[in-house]
Amino acid sequence: MELKATSMGKRLAQHPYNRVRLLAAGVEVSGDRHEYLIPFNALLDINCKRGMVWGELEFLLPDEKVVRLHGTEWQETQRFYHYLQQAWQNWSLEMSAICVEVLTQLKTEIEEFGNQDRWIKRSELHALRATIEKQFAALPLPLERLSQISDCRELYHFCQRWLEQGEATLRQRNRDWAAHVLKAHHHFFATVETSPLNASQSEAVVNGEDAVLVLAGAGSGKTSVLVARAGWLLQRKLAMPEQILLLAFGRQAAEEMNDRIQSRLNVTNIQARTFHALALHIIREGSNKQPTISKLESDTAARHALLIKVWRQQCEEKKAQANGWRQWLRDELEWELPEGHFWQDDRLARRLASRLERWLGLMRMHGGAQAAMIAEVPDEVRELFSKRIKLMAPLLKAWKSALKEEGAVDFSGLIHQAVALLDKGRFISPWKHILVDEFQDISPQRAALLTALRQQNKRTTLFAVGDDWQAIYRFSGAEMSLTTAFHHYFGDGDRCVLDTTYRFNDRIGDIANRFIQQNPHQLRKPLNSLTKGNKKAVGLLPQEQLEPLLNKLSGYVKQEERVLLLARYHHLRPDVLDKARTRWPKLNLDFMTIHASKGQQADFVIVLGLQAGKEGFPAAARESVIEQALLPQPEDFPDAEERRLAYVALTRARQQVWMLYDREQPSVFVEQLHQLGVPLLRKA
């Protein structure tokens, strides 16, 4: 059956289409030069319209496309339209039965997917979405029509919601599942640690994403979460003990973790390791060799002696090298050097030793050849960087020779070897779950080790606990963006926040939180305190008031309460502490640098040295071009890392903290803290 435009209609309409023919499952619209085939499975609707003289048929297609036929006799148009509608509806009815069958099966699959008694990962949602899209594409009816067909409407909307709103739907589904499982396993979360886990801790423990970042503010119980996570994996039979890898940055932290796991979980075959111990294990298993760690790594004096010896020899033997070092230390670092054979000066050598150690460490951490290092730095510093690297080359050569002579490796070499073995497939990771403590301290080199492990075992999850607000080790290679842009580096997953601190009161928390979040590069998060603090919980005090303050504290601080003095540098230890044992015998006093205090806590904290200038806090940037080129780029905010250091100092205190400042040269932090409401006290 077909419908044609009249001769007059054809002439006056001047339209490309003047004829339509009904096919077995579609229509063909054509003209003298054009032909358009419209299958019923691409047809959304048909409209029949009456003009002044002639009829018009309108075929609606996807993407708002419309094909029109003009100039047909009206009664014939009506007759064809009704016949076409009947054929199209009959076809649609037959096809809708197929759609119902496909959609019913798809709904069942989705319900089974959602009803699993476990956390469902986003990566699994991607696979589900692909299935839905594939099934939708195979339907004989256009998707736009399914909402109009009563038998299909509800089924289609159910499936479509998982396709279009999958993230929100899955999030709510996982939230509901987590609430159910926390209730069902209440006893576990109440007893796995000495104190019951709170809601945010428990929710982090059961989060089953492939990559989970747990932002754990100061005193929020991150170790409890790590222990409970290991216990949860065992309880739910998600892993055997030997499939769980716990990583810490220091040997002491790893040992403390092991003690907690053994005492709380009664498990001995989960072992927390340092990254270096892990690298040793990989090398031993992957190459059947037993690497020896160089004695230089554990002997600071020997390290410094080796580097200074080579440096002095270099300056003594080559005038050009001596001139190069003079320029570097005097012009770039602005150090005062003695005239003549400056390299013989012992005081200068002691000062330089730690710098040489750091520069060598950064070069070793990079791991590449000198040419590769030079090629990777920005154009504007490449020439100067190249000069400095050439001055360091004899020290690097001597270091490698010392390692070779000892038949040993250093820490950087360990990590590089382990990554190489993993990349070559000579070690297959047995771990399904990697749990990392203090993640904000991770370096690109250690991150590469984690990535290589997960490449070996694609089903390995990464559970990282850390706090970007306490990222204070950039000088040793830590890169904060590995935390702040966690999912960019480690894949799709989730972020949890431990929102309650058990350490300090709400006054300390309020000041510390607002102070650190003035830097927009820090991740925003809540951190609520359980105890109230008064306005004097944080105070700014002139530094000459230290002794009167200690006198006052000795009058009311209990013997079991700890008083902790913190400074930016170890040499700022106040002389008054030399007489503390006899002057205040019952005062439990400790002194340490702020860096060393990480992980510590005390009832009362005194922060020393809030002054501007050379030995000030915040410390002035004193980086050589070596650090500028080989360390991670700092974020663009004034004193960003020093601000985090101040946050660490503030949050060591349970009850009260005093920030001691120089009246003549106050630190910029003094005014910033005062603007946040910290009172300027005149006396202790």
Biggest distance spanned by C-alpha atoms of the chain: 119
Spatial separation of the C-alpha atoms in residues 523 and 506, rounded to whole Å: 20
Q: Nearest to residue 174, comparing CAs of 147, 203, 198?
A: 203
Spatial separation of the C-alpha atoms in residues 325 and 343, rounded to whole Å: 9
- pLDDT number for residue 301: 95
- pLDDT number for residue 622: 75
% of the chain residues with pLDDT over 90: 86
Handedness of CA 203, 206, 212, 215 (dihedral sign): positive
460 pLDDT higher than 90? yes
92 pLDDT higher than 90? yes
Cβ atoms 649, 607 nearer than 8 A: yes
Spatial separation of the C-alpha atoms in residues 19 and 30, rounded to whole Å: 5
φ and ψ at 370, to 5 degrees?
Answer: -60, -40
Q: Nearest to residue 625, comparing CAs of 360, 443, 394, 384?
A: 384
Provide the pLDDT confidence category of residue 562 given band limits of 50, 70 and 90: very high
Domains of the chain, CATH where assigned = 1-182 (2.30.29.30), 185-293+431-501 (3.40.50.300), 295-408 (no CATH), 517-675 (3.40.50.300)
Spatial separation of the C-alpha atoms in residues 112 and 173, rounded to whole Å: 13
Cβ atoms 57, 48 nearer than 8 A: yes
Angle 58-63-69 (CA atoms, 0-180°, nearest 5)? Answer: 15
Q: Nearest to residue 162, comparing CAs of 113, 98, 208?
A: 113
97 pLDDT higher than 90? yes
What is residue 66's three-state secondary structure? strand
200-227 per-position pLDDT tens digit = 999 999 999 999 999 999 999 999 999 9
Provide the pLDDT confidence category of residue 348 given band limits of 50, 70 and 90: very high
- pLDDT number for residue 367: 80
- pLDDT number for residue 179: 97
Which runs of consecutive H residues, i.e. helices, occur in 466-505? 481-484, 486-490
> How distant, in Å, are the alpha carbons of 477, 486, 673 from that of 482?
12, 5, 29
139 burial via Cβ count (<10 Å: 0-12, 13-18, 19+):
buried
> Which residue type sits at 147?
S
116 burial via Cβ count (<10 Å: 0-12, 13-18, 19+):
exposed
Provide the pLDDT confidence category of residue 12 given band limits of 50, 70 and 90: low
134-149 per-position pLDDT tens digit = 999 999 999 999 999 9
Predicted model pTM? 0.88
Return the structure tokens found at 44: 């959304």
Which runs of consecutive H residues, i.e. helices, occur in 185-318? 186-191, 199-206, 222-235, 251-265, 275-287, 300-317
Provide the pLDDT confidence category of residue 386 given band limits of 50, 70 and 90: very high
> Token match 């390692």: residue?
403
Strand order through the sheet with 2-4: 2-4, 19-23, 26-30, 35-39
Q: What is the mean pLDDT of residues 534-548?
A: 96
269 pLDDT higher than 80? yes
Provide the pLDDT confidence category of residue 117 given band limits of 50, 70 and 90: very high
315-334 per-position pLDDT tens digit = 999 999 999 999 999 988 88
Spatial separation of the C-alpha atoms in residues 41 and 471, rounded to whole Å: 59
388-433 per-position pLDDT tens digit = 999 999 999 999 999 999 999 999 999 999 999 999 999 999 999 9
160-175 per-position pLDDT tens digit = 999 999 999 999 999 9
For residue 618, say if its preceding peptide bond is cis, omega within 30 degrees of 0: yes
φ and ψ at 68, to 5 degrees?
Answer: -120, 145
Spatial separation of the C-alpha atoms in residues 169 and 372, rounded to whole Å: 48
Spatial separation of the C-alpha atoms in residues 446 and 411, rounded to whole Å: 11
Residues linked to residue 21 through DSSP beta bridges, in sequence order = 2, 28
Residues linked to residue 465 through DSSP beta bridges, in sequence order = 214
What do you get for the CA distance between the two ends of the chain, in Å? Answer: 102
9 pLDDT higher than 90? no
674 pLDDT higher than 90? yes
